[in-house]
Chain A
């Protein structure tokens, strides 16, 4: 029956809407369990533990209290927990994925490890980075961006940062707080200092 007829195209995206919390990020507030948390940390994971935090703003500079952010990243050796990464070794229970809903003040945070270096398609090293997907009411499709780290010398030669006009690169770089393994990055969906989003 409906087996394997070639589809005419992909299923279009629709907004996550204002009411996703009880299904996707209930965090104890609803009668439903969380499939994911805002942490990628597992007891046996190796690497530098870091926290990434910030706020999400709309085009009026108003906080977005109903956004959902998802991160995907390599482990500290730059390997992905996906068999499609042929270099991957059976590495702990690290999965490299986390999800966070913003709070009423637009805050988000992730607890994770700083990822290692991942090659680009030419084998050139990419600076440590995390891929970030942003979902919200009002966003008909989620947007992709990246999180880099302010204390990485490799940023200067990163091939993806190199595609971004110099005056917009700072929107992708989380800034380390003095003396703490905490990095801050605010996301601006529109307007001055709008976050760079990628067409992937």
Chain B
């Protein structure tokens, strides 16, 4: 299968400069990006599979001696291309705050407790159908210095590779119904509301495990259309 990556799909992304998000003001390019055709350098990408991931790397609740505090969750879904096909063997990396909204990063100053049983990092590889699954705990909301009384809605950071170097995606997965959505300049940096809502997971009762963990579904859609769909169907 040969994939093409129309640049129009990038309209779903935030603009580089989003002044409400203060950190973007000095870190967004001031000159327009230069358009170019994709060459083999853009159309290929790193291939990493199961050798990159150890058993249990997708369970953030079993990395230490004891169990982390907080609400245990399952986060699962498919990595897909723009035609809806699953993207197989794609590395998915995640990192997140603990249940209190505190990151283990040394520069996180939020006066909430660290959890000795929670680092907050995980990775997995999507299977042949593009399916991935993590077990974790629900991260807490946390304050940040962007403006007075600024709080980030609870989120999990994700990093995904896909079929080529131009499918590379780093994003954040949010939880449904978060009251902080209207006030968060990072969430709202995505101009189109429908696109914004594609960053919000859905509660998945069907796959919630009785007596054990709530489940959230999050499909990740990467760039890429099949250039020759008629040959394959």
Contact = CB atoms under 8 A, between A and B. Distances in A.
A100 interface: no
Contact of A140 (B42, B53, B94, B189): B189
A11 B222 contact: yes
Contact of A138 (B21, B43, B221): B21
Tell me the interface secondary structure of chain B in the complex: loop
A179 interface: no
A199 B29 CA distance: 12
B119 A12 contact: no
B180 interface: no
B170 A14 contact: yes
A7 B219 contact: yes
A68 to B, nearest CB: 9
Tell me the interface secondary structure of chain A in the complex: loop
Nearest to A120: B39
B221 A22 contact: no
B148 interface: no
B74 to A, nearest CB: 15
Interface string A6-24: 1111111111111111111
B168 A22 contact: no
Interface residues of B, number: 92
A196 B34 contact: yes
18 contacts: A6-B84, A9-B198, A11-B199, A12-B171, A13-B170, A22-B103, A23-B95, A29-B106, A32-B121, A59-B30, A60-B26, A80-B40, A120-B37, A121-B39, A138-B25, A144-B42, A199-B36, A200-B36
Given A31-B63, A72-B44, A97-B46, 14 more contacts: A9-B195, A23-B94, A59-B25, A82-B44, A84-B43, A97-B48, A129-B41, A133-B165, A140-B14, A140-B16, A140-B18, A141-B10, A189-B27, A189-B28
